[in-house]
Amino acid sequence: MRKEPGCSARERKKADRPLAWGAHIAHALCGEGSVFPLPAGVDLLEAALSKLGAIAYRGVRAAGTRPHEEVAVVGLGPIGQLAARLHGLTGARVVAVDVVPERVVLAKAAGIEAVRGETRDRRGIGIPATPGADVVL
């Protein structure tokens, strides 16, 4: 097992239910500053999804989305679902597209304007979404 650079034995923190920020990997040794104990009552699945939420939120912050803008979300996997909702909270019009029908249904159930894209070939999908989006994810 490899250690994270700068992570010594005395820096390791024991936690019954730890959450660590870092790469998408199954196991890691992390420095003390990267590990946080989960409060009682926080579901492990919800805690794991918080990382994905942070990724989606970073996109909202980087884009600086405003209420009058239009946002196109291409792909409604977990991060796309969260990004569509967070951009929607800014007041912007969000149009999302995915080739997987279940993902489109899930987004629509959350109030997102979502459509199923047509598969053209392996290089991408046809987007029957809004032309001239201000932000494209």
Q: What is the pTM of this model?
A: 0.71
- For the segment 1-23, the average pLDDT, to the nearest whole number, is 54
Query: What is the average per-residue pLDDT within 115-122?
Result: 71
**Burial state string for 73-102 with b = 16 or more CB within 10 A and e = fewer than 16:** bbbbeebbbbbbbbbbebebbbbbbbbeee
Q: Is the pLDDT of residue 121 over 60?
A: no
Q: Average of pLDDT values for 66-84?
A: 94
Residue, of 113 and 117, whose pLDDT is higher: 113
Instruction: Note the pLDDT of residue 72.
Output: 92
Residue 80's pLDDT band, with cuts at 50, 70 and 90, is: very high
Strand partners, 119: 125
